[in-house]
A and B are shown apart, each in its own frame.
Chain A
Amino acid sequence: MEDYQTGEETAFVVDEVSTIVKEAVEGAIGENSYQQSRVKQWTNNVVEQCLSQLNKLGKPFKYIVTCIIMQKNGAGLQTACSCFWDNTTDGSCTVRWENKSMYCIVSVFGLAI
């Protein structure tokens, strides 16, 4: 039985993923201002859109997508992540997006099966 997977297919490609994420964020939030009542729906939309697009890539990966939407209020936020994985095949990508009233930070972690 021959292994038909080439090396290129089983690597985490940051550019592809970041494009997907940016489109998802623009589509879900786009021009809107921060609204308390809609924020839950927005985070759900962003994350679901990202995941469905990532799934369509058809790569043998498990994905974790995290989205933080924060109102612009002059407050500070620090985020760090520490990962125990296989450096050759796994990777992560973080996209920061902002408009006049809010920040949106989306992190995607891809782990090869």
Chain B
Amino acid sequence: MSDLAKEKVARLLKKRGSVSSLGSHDVRNKNLLLKNKDSISTVSYMDDPGHHDDVSRPAVQMENTYQLGPKKRFPVQTVKEILKDVLSSYLLEVKYEAELCRQMTKTISEVVKARVKDMMIPRYKIIVVISIGQLTGQNMHVGSRCLWDATSDTFCSNSFKNSSLFAIANVYAVYFE
């Protein structure tokens, strides 16, 4: 009986087309276990519930805007403040725990996205990436490169550390021509 209920809930969430990452996403784990000597690799991609509805609808053809660049630029400093604010308020006294931090990363990314959206910067697409890791004396290196238009696109990054965990937040803003 519980399985039936679970199926109903899953179907309902899919119908709502919620694009929240907190929702029941089907993370398709394409387990291409290429056991190439000592290395293993797996691929996964998000299968958004909204995606199924959109496949039947043809892609929207946009008209020319005749704009050369963005009218309002992306305010990097303000977003940096937002990141600092959100990270410290959510993670100040938190101790690293796998399940809690899993939920925390999702929540924080949603919150940051909502606050950046509230700023109403037109024609910008936003990507927020949050990583929370445990501090055990290990070493880690994070790098990112972007292929975009440097005059209109930008990013913003912030990090936070307490006694048991560290958090890295990246916000990328891409202008939609």
Tell me what chain B mostly uses at the interface: helix, strand, loop, or mixed: mixed
Chain A residues within 8 Å of B, Cβ to Cβ: 3, 7, 10, 14, 18, 22, 25-26, 30-31, 34, 36, 39-40, 42-44, 46-48, 50-51, 54-55, 62-100, 107, 109, 111, 113
> How many Å lie between the Cα of A107 and that of B93 in the bound state?
29
Indicate whether B106 reaches chain A with its CB closer than 8 angstroms.
yes
Q: How many residues of chain B are within 8 Å of chain A by beta carbon?
A: 69
Whether A78 lies near B98 (C-beta < 8 A) is: yes
- Choose, from B4-12, B51-59, B72-80, the stretch at the interface: B51-59
Whether A109 lies near B127 (C-beta < 8 A) is: yes
Contacts A54-B147, A62-B174, A89-B59 given; indicate if A81 touches B40 (C-beta within 8 A): no
Q: Which of B132, B143, B146 contacts A63 (CB 8 A)?
A: B146
Whether B40 lies near A76 (C-beta < 8 A) is: no
Question: What are 19 A-B pairs at a CB distance below 8 A?
Answer: A22-B41, A44-B143, A62-B146, A62-B153, A64-B146, A65-B144, A65-B146, A65-B147, A67-B143, A68-B142, A75-B135, A78-B105, A80-B21, A80-B105, A80-B108, A83-B128, A96-B43, A97-B40, A99-B39
Indicate whether B15 reaches chain A with its CB closer than 8 angstroms.
no
Which residue of chain A has the shortest Cβ distance to B106 in the bound complex? A80
* B15: min CB distance to chain A, Å: 15
Q: Which of B39, B113, B131 contacts A77 (CB 8 A)?
A: B131
> How many Å lie between the Cα of A31 and that of B142 in the bound state?
20
Q: Which of B36, B127, B137 contacts A81 (CB 8 A)?
A: B127
* B56: min CB distance to chain A, Å: 11
Give the 5 A-B residue pairs with the shortest CB-CB distance, closest first.
A73-B138, A43-B143, A80-B105, A82-B109, A84-B126
Whether A78 lies near B133 (C-beta < 8 A) is: yes
* A22: min CB distance to chain B, Å: 6
Indicate whether B140 reaches chain A with its CB closer than 8 angstroms.
yes
Whether A31 lies near B38 (C-beta < 8 A) is: yes
> How many Å lie between the Cα of A22 and that of B41 in the bound state?
8
Which residue of chain B has the shortest Cβ distance to A19 in the bound complex? B43
Which residue of chain B has the shortest Cβ distance to A3 in the bound complex? B61
Contacts of B108 in A (CB 8 A): 80
